[in-house]
Amino acid sequence: MAEKKGGRVVVIPFPAQGHVNPLMHISKGLAKEGIKITMINTDFIHSKLLEAMGQNIDQILGPNVELLGLPDGFPLHENRDDIHKLFVDIMNNLKPQFEKLLAKMNTDHDGGLACAIVDMSMGWVLEIAASLGVKGAIFTPFTAAHSVLNLSLNELIESGIITPEGTPVEEKTIELESLGTPSMIHTSDLPWRCVPLKNSQKILFDHLVRVQRGCHYAKWYILILPHVLEPQVVSLNPKLLTIGPLIATEAGQLWKEDDSCIRWLDQQPAGSVVYMAFGSSTDFNQEQFEEIAMGMELTERPFMWVVRQGTEHQLPAGFKGEKGKIVSWVSQQKVLNHPSVGIFMSHCGWNSVIEGVSSGLPFLCWPYVGDHFLNMKYVTEIWKVGIGFEREVNGVVSRWEIKKKVELVGGDEEMKGRSRVLAEEIRRCWEGADAPSALNFDRLVKWAKQEDDDVAV
């Protein structure tokens, strides 16, 4: 079927915070160019967005962005962290709803659909869009290397690196010059292998096989990546469209931020604060929670620690916390760019990595799951702007290890210098008329407006 010209862009994130916010930023950027946007989330995510924006929703979204929600088959109060529920049940529940909704929107909603921008983890939606004659692009909230691996399952199988079931034939470094991936990537870094249980790995691999079929319909793979961070991978994969760094938008947050944090930061010495944020999925046990608290107290440095709402862990006896501030949610980019912040202790989710390196901060890396481990390798081995932690035999990072590493990074002037240089290189990717990320975003705008379907990356 021929692609249909239309005026509305449908944007479909994967139902998780780290996927929603960057796509909201892209949506608002397109909306500023006069493009009408409909973002479709699950009801669970949709309700959190509405709650976080509150009465300011119209002002935050603007006139060209609308939000829709689809039921994912589970009550709003129910936990959605289970891998089978998220990648199998919810995806299966959403498929017939997207088939019905997109078909309806394409016939009676503002003249039909111009295109679909779909999260890689929702890539199967592009099969539906293609059947309706609607062109598509894939958004990938990962490194370029991670994205290419996700999209190259057949090549990995044909090269004898993995079996058709996703199991490595041999544990070794992956060397595929055609992909341009860094030489430090190991079979243990394959995206579906970065979860602890074999059954969960199989679920993720099967999900990637499913979404890869839809991803092949994409004109582009949009990354929030400044190309200077992975130039070789980007240069060898012409469908990668780099538009990073992105600035987080209030419209994409799932929780209300704690307004007191900036006032507290204003009272701290320049470069003194360790900002600690471990993402929405990291789940410490009580012992590790206590070791983090006592380790930061041992450093005698001011720290800001984001502890998400609903955490039931108790601070340890004897913890004074006189130099620390514990918050439930903050505007991370505001905090990272505050002059009092000197170190970023992070789970190394890709959005956080981009925000941290763009702010010129050195990292203390605490990866938890999925792509976090590969992201840490970029931070520590390629860009050399951070270090990780050593664990005890029981898997816990001790308070003394935390104290040691905070002091090590805090005193490493060469690492701080590399962090500042990298931030300046990233800034030049977006600022200025000839900046590559700005030019690529303009290409995306023209493509979405149907002005230039054949623009090359």
d(CA 419, CA 357): 7
Q: Are residues 355 and 309 in the same domain?
A: yes
Q: Are residues 196 and 208 in the same domain?
A: yes
Structural domain includes residue 278: yes
Which of the four pLDDT bands, split at 50, 70 and 90, describes residue 20?
A: very high
Q: Are residues 182 and 286 in the same domain?
A: no
Structural domain includes residue 457: no
Structural domain includes residue 420: no
Supply the Cα-derived Rg of the chain in whole angstroms. 22
Residue 159 half-sphere exposure toward CB, CA atoms < 13 A: 16
pLDDT digits (tens, 9 = 90+) for 240-276: 999 988 755 444 455 566 678 999 999 999 999 999 9
Q: Are residues 321 and 172 in the same domain?
A: no
Q: Are residues 261 and 198 in the same domain?
A: no
Q: Are residues 86 and 223 in the same domain?
A: yes
> How many domains does the structure of the chain reveal?
2
Question: Is 356:363 a contact under the CB 8 Å cutoff?
Answer: yes
- Residue with token string 């079996």: 163
Which of 103, 109, 108, 110 minimizes the C-alpha distance to 134? 103
Both structure tokens of 339: 């002059």
As beta bridge partners, residue 173 has: 186
Question: Is 226:207 a contact under the CB 8 Å cutoff?
Answer: no
DSSP-derived 3-state class of residue 2: coil
Q: Are residues 208 and 357 in the same domain?
A: no
Structural domain includes residue 264: yes
Q: Are residues 68 and 213 in the same domain?
A: yes
Give the residue numbers spanning the domain of 88: 8-251+429-448
d(CA 413, CA 421): 12
Structural domain includes residue 421: no
pLDDT digits (tens, 9 = 90+) for 124-183: 999 999 999 999 999 999 999 889 888 889 889 998 999 999 999 999 888 777 777 777
pLDDT at 265: 96
d(CA 190, CA 208): 11
Q: What is the mean pLDDT of residues 365-372?
A: 90
Query: 243: domain CATH number?
Result: 3.40.50.2000
